[in-house]
Homo-oligomer: A and B are copies of this chain.
Amino acid sequence: MTRPEPAEAASRRPTRQRSALLAVLSDTDGFRSAQELHALLRARGDGVGLATVYRTLQALTDQGQVDVVRNADGEATYRRCSTAHHHHLMCRSCGRTVELADSPVERWAARVADQHGFADVQHQLEVFGTCAACAAAREPQR
- Other-chain residue from B70, B105, B116, B127 in contact with A103 (beta carbon distance below 8 A): B105
Query: Of A23-31, A34-42, A50-58, A129-137, which binds chain B?
Result: A129-137
Give the distance in Å from the alpha carbon of A136 to the alpha carbon of B76 in the complex.
34
- Other-chain residue from B76, B118, B126, B135 in contact with A130 (beta carbon distance below 8 A): B118
Nearest CB in chain B: distance from A51 CB, A = 18
Task: List, in ascending order, chain B residues with CB within 8 A of A76's CB.
Answer: 74
Contact between chains at B119 and A127 (CB < 8 Å): no
Task: List, in ascending order, chain B residues with CB within 8 A of A98's CB.
Answer: 116
Contact between chains at A112 and B89 (CB < 8 Å): yes
Nearest CB in chain B: distance from A120 CB, A = 5
